Amino acid sequence: MLLVIDIGNSRTKWALAGDSGVLTEFEVCMNANIASSNLSAAAQKADNTLIANVAGEAMAQQIGRLLPPLTLKFLTASQQACGVTNNYLMPSKLGADRWAALIAAWQRTKHAAIVVNAGTAITIDAIDEKGAFLGGSIMPGLRLMHESLVINAAQLNVEEGVLQNFPINTQDAITSGSLNAVAGAISLMLKRLEKQCGWLPKLVLSGGDANKIAEALKLNLKQVIMMENIVLQGLVLLAKQ
């Protein structure tokens, strides 16, 4: 049994996977509460582990204390894996979460795609029709955008609103502005990839805010693929390679 762990900026997700690769016993926990989580219990059922960590060394050490007797194996992006070529200037510097997400998206689509993982930060990555990672961008997530305005603008300390075409209150204006910024960034990347490849790319969406972003984009449903736990799925594929 394989234990896969996705240590994000604010939350840690994990699941077990057998020979079929299907994720079971999925759990999620805020990083601050990881010591009191069920991760140790999951580790007792596993023979191996693969971890994607973007939360730093201190969090990695804390996770490590919960996993004995498993040997810790942290993912580092490589030049090539599972049909995907990594064209990052320094391949090993690509975030492990982005690499795992690209692997999962490519194995799902085998098609040129923009891969979006919307969490604390939002990553928007491009992969072409041959499985080559072309590059991507990172921007603040929706919550970070909202919090930035609350912290830095005294008159904008408001609750989350809803997406509107023409907002007529401050809550909706902030929420709509944030969603429009993300939707615009994704739309621009889709257009760039379409121009480069010569046909319409897929859009793979994952992360806690994926549904909100899909609503804001209003794309043809045939173009959009929703993938839950995309990093964990990629970790399973990489571990089986």
In the predicted structure, residue 42 carries a pLDDT above the cut 80: yes
- Residues 167 and 221: their CA atoms lie apart, in Å, by 25
Q: What distance in Å separates the CA atoms of residue 93 and residue 166, rounded to the nearest whole number?
A: 41
Active-site positions read 97
The predicted structure's pLDDT at residue 152: 82
The pLDDT confidence band at residue 21, using thresholds 50, 70 and 90, is confident
d(CA 42, CA 67) in angstroms, rounded, equals: 9
Local structure of 36: helix, strand or coil:
helix
Let me know if the fold of 2-64 is the same as that of 110-142+167-240. yes
Give 81-101 pLDDT, tens digit per residue.
999 999 999 999 999 999 999
- Which CATH superfamily hosts domain 110-142+167-240? ATPase, nucleotide binding domain (3.30.420.40)
d(CA 214, CA 200): 17
3-state SS, residue 160: coil
Locate the domains of the chain by residue range.
Answer: 2-64, 110-142+167-240
Mean pLDDT within 158-187: 92
Fold of 2-64: Nucleotidyltransferase; domain 5 (3.30.420)
